């Protein structure tokens, strides 16, 4: 993979950083975050500004360009990828390693006295602005909003913002009508004594109105904001998609509704002026509720005294706790997904071993082909990570023609993939060997499996935050001096974003919300040997109540139920490293795969894949 040559682009950016046409005063540094105006993780091509200026296109990272330097901060998932994709104009800042300076500390160390640091106020979250502004001010520098995005001024062939048709979801999928969601939101607003609620995250807008879209690849969302008052609903959205009769009927735009449910449709670009008007019309003690991750620009539209900011919105929390219809949909989606993967792995066994002509890209395409045969399939839920041998050590690797390796009987193959179905979102990783794994490969795989089981089988009190479970997944690896540089799990949306807050299982945050029954997260420990192989085992799991012998302080307990039902390759397991309890867990899990997925394979007439499933779920026997 040859890095992007950025010399000319950086020269152009440094020129506009000084140009009175774009900045009131010259800025000595310019920050390019990776999100969009909604602080999304996955973004549309027109918002890929950090990838445009640097060449690095991972989902997380911040670029900072000064007159002399260009630096990129990213996390452990992307160290190898960023190093491959960036040229020598760039310095890679490896977040999470103890010698890596923070963005603020680095700026203070390289900037001349009294510098101005510019950023697009729509792209930076308010909480990050506050933190950075304070740190820079204490060192004699200023963080300043730059109205026009400076990357856009030099990006001559920037794609158009997508504006694609919408998908309506009826209550059989969502369990609750959009009107009932508005009522629940208003009762939360009343509890906090706020008059207005501003919805800025794209998945929160989609969830609230039971709509989905395809403006962002892999994420069924659309570009919109909403402002909910106690008696008004404003939806800020562009395009003729609101003229679609089905959308109009779904939102009851042409019906005679009670005024408090009448939706006013407004242009997407008018959100700032509308919020400023709301802010200007407030009486003392009236409040406007925003996420503290909303953009600095929108937050500033409301005078400080009238803002009510929280890290997580009531929509974010309600969306994370799946209702019975959503849970049932997620179960159905994972059964379909398992059928597709049984077909894929059966096909790979037949192709890789005798022929040796399957590449990473062919395997990824085949996975999509099998998934697309399932009912209610919409699209993939992220770019498939199909990686063999040393590519498996690149945690968020995506095969491209320059890096595309052929699967073989001599290397470990790691596949992390998922799909969006109308009834749910999937994300599953399996690691396998088509030949004979080495003792060391089996040992590493088994430590990862032990960690996976430790989380999946964990019983913990109600009110526990997911980050407390992160070390359960690492304990077996830590015992041997091994580890991995990513979190253990993330929340998963219901036909929504594959990564969603406010829950997760990660050492990287202590700001997660406590786990509660109905939440859905991933369980995905791993181990990566640079230049050699990668191992990851991932299931999506549902938080459920647990039965325990005692009930301390009457607070109740929780555990996990795997929704992913795909065999874990037993030839990769060193059974002697498992306890009897762990061995039983694998056997029980495989029995459930056999029963549930076996019945669906039978129903769909997929007999070869069924034979593969039965062979792969033979019980493990531990020699005493």
Query: In this predicted model, what pLDDT tens digit does every residue of 434-451 receive, in sequence order?
Result: 999 999 999 999 999 999
Query: In this predicted model, what pLDDT tens digit does every residue of 547-577 receive, in sequence order?
Result: 999 999 999 999 999 999 999 999 999 999 9
Query: In this predicted model, what pLDDT tens digit does every residue of 330-353 receive, in sequence order?
Result: 999 999 999 999 999 999 999 988
The pLDDT of 460-482, averaged and rounded, is: 97
User: Alpha carbon 581 to chain centroid distance?
Assistant: 32
Structure confidence at residue 239 (pLDDT)? 85
Res. 368: pLDDT tops 80? yes
Tell me the percentage of the chain whose pLDDT exceeds 90: 96
The pLDDT of 128-141, averaged and rounded, is: 96
- In the three-class reduction of DSSP (H, G, I as helix; E, B as strand; rest coil), residue 392 is classed as helix
**580-592 helix and 439-456 helix, angle to the nearest 10 degrees:** 80
Residue whose C-alpha is closest to residue 177's, from 207, 132, 222? 207
Residue whose C-alpha is closest to residue 295's, from 500, 42, 39? 39
Structure confidence at residue 427 (pLDDT)? 98
Nearest-Å Rg of the Cα atoms of the chain is: 25
Distance CA 343, CA 340 (A): 5
The pLDDT of 385-412, averaged and rounded, is: 95
Contact, 617 vs 591, CB < 8 A?
A: yes
The pLDDT of 404-415, averaged and rounded, is: 97
Tokens at 248, concatenated: 């109009």
Structure confidence at residue 2 (pLDDT)? 86
Query: In this predicted model, what pLDDT tens digit does every residue of 476-491 receive, in sequence order?
Result: 999 999 999 999 999 9
Structure confidence at residue 1 (pLDDT)? 66
Structure confidence at residue 450 (pLDDT)? 98
With b for 16 or more beta-carbon neighbours within 10 A and e for fewer, the 315-342 pattern comes to: bbbbbbbbeebbbbbbbbbbbbbbbbbb
Total-model pTM:
0.95
Residue listed under structure tokens 């200026």:
53
Query: In this predicted model, what pLDDT tens digit does every residue of 514-525 receive, in sequence order?
Result: 999 999 999 999
The pLDDT of 7-34, averaged and rounded, is: 97
Alpha helices in 17-102 (DSSP H): 49-54, 79-85
Tell me the percentage of the chain whose pLDDT exceeds 70: 100
Res. 510: pLDDT tops 80? no
Structure confidence at residue 248 (pLDDT)? 96
DSSP string, 201-248: SHHHHHHHTTEE--SBTTB---SEEEEEESS-EEEEE-SGGGG-HHHH
Contacts of 395 (CB under 8 A, 6+ apart): 76, 77, 78, 80, 485, 486, 526, 528, 534
Query: In this predicted model, what pLDDT tens digit does every residue of 202-240 receive, in sequence order?
Result: 999 999 999 999 999 999 999 999 999 999 999 999 988
- In the three-class reduction of DSSP (H, G, I as helix; E, B as strand; rest coil), residue 611 is classed as helix
Res. 359: pLDDT tops 80? yes
How far is residue 287 from each of residues 188, 191, 230, 261, measured CA to CA in Å? 13, 12, 12, 21
What's the residue count for the chain? 624
The pLDDT of 408-420, averaged and rounded, is: 97
Res. 426: pLDDT tops 90? yes
Residue listed under structure tokens 């990287």:
508
DSSP state at residue 270: G
Q: Is the peptide bond before 149 cis (omega within 30 degrees of 0)?
A: no
Distance CA 397, CA 622 (A): 35
CA dihedral 524, 608, 362, 382 (to 10 degrees): -40
The pLDDT of 602-622, averaged and rounded, is: 97
DSSP string, 533-599: EEEE-BEEEEEEEE--S--GGG--EEEEEE----PPPGGG--GGGS-HHHHHHHHHHHHHIIIIIHH
| Cross-strand partners of 86 | 4
Residue listed under structure tokens 């027109």:
46
């Amino acid at each position: 993979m040859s890095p992007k040559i950025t010399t000319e682009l950086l020269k152009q950016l440094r020129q506009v950083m000084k140009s009175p046409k774009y900045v009131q005063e010259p800025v000595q540094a310019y920050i390019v975050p990776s999100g969009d105006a909604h602080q999304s993780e996955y973004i549309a091509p027109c918002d890929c500004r950090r990838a445009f200026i640097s060449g690095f296109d991972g989902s997380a990272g911040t670029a900072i360009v000064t007159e002399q330097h260009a630096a990129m901060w990213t996390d452990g998932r992307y160290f190898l990828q960023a190093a491959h994709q960036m040229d020598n104009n760039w310095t890679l800042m490896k977040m999470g390693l103890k010698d890596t300076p923070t963005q603020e500390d680095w700026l203070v160390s390289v900037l001349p006295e009294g510098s101005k640091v510019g950023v697009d106020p729509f792209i930076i979250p308010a909480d990050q602005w506050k933190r950075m502004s304070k740190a820079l001010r204490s060192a004699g520098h200023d963080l300043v909003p730059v109205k026009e995005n400076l990357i856009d001024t030099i990006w001559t062939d920037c794609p158009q913002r997508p504006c694609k048709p919408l998908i309506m979801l009826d209550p059989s999928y969502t369990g609750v009508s959009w009107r009932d969601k508005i009522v629940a939101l208003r009762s939360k607003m009343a509890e906090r004594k706020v008059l207005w609620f501003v919805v800025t995250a794209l998945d929160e807008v989609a969830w609230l109105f039971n709509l989905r879209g395809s403006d962002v690849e892999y994420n069924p969302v659309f570009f919109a904001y909403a402002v909910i008052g106690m008696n008004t609903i404003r939806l800020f959205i562009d395009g003729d998609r609101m003229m679609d009769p089905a959308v109009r009927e779904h939102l009851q735009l042409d019906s005679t509704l009670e005024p408090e449910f009448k939706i006013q449709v407004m242009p997407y670009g008018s959100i700032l002026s509308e919020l400023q008007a709301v802010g200007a019309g407030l009486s003392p003690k009236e409040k406007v509720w925003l996420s503290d991750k909303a953009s600095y620009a929108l937050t500033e539209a409301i005078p400080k005294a009238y803002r009510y900011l929280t890290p997580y919105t009531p929509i974010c929390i309600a969306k994370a706790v799946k209702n019975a219809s959503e849970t049932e949909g997620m179960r159905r989606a994972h059964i379909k997904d398992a059928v597709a993967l049984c077909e894929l792995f059966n096909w790979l066994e037949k192709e890789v071993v005798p022929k040796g002509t399957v590449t990473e890209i062919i395997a990824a395409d085949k996975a999509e082909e099998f998934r697309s045969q399932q009912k209610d399939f919409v699209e993939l839920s992220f770019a498939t990570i199909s990686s063999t041998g040393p590519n498996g050590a690149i945690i968020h690797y995506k095969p491209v023609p320059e890096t595309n390796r052929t699967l073989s009987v001599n290397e470990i193959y790691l596949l992390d993939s998922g799909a969006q179905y109308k009834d749910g979102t999937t994300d599953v990783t399996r690691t396998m060997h088509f030949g004979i794994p080495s003792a060391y490969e089996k040992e590493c795989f088994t430590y990862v499996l032990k960690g996976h089981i430790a989380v999946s089988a964990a019983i913990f009190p109600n009110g526990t935050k997911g980050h407390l479970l992160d070390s359960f997944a690492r304990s077996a690896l830590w015992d041997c001096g091994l580890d991995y540089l990513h979190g253990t799990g993330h929340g998963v949306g219901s036909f929504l974003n594959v990564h969603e807050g406010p829950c997760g299982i990660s050492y990287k945050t202590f700001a997660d919300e406590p786990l509660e029954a109905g939440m859905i997260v991933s369980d995905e420990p791993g181990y990566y040997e640079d230049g050699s192989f990668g191992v990851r085992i991932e299931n999506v799991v549902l938080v459920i109540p647990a039965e325990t012998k005692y009930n301390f302080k009457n607070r109740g307990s929780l555990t996990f139920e795997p929704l992913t039902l795909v065999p874990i390759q037993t030839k990769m397991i060193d059974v002697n490293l498992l306890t009897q309890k762990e061995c039983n867990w694998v056997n029980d899990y495989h029995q459930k795969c056999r029963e549930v997925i076996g019945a669906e394979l039978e129903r769909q007439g997929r007999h070869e894949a069924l034979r593969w499933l039965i062979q792969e779920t033979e019980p493990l026997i531990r020699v005493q």
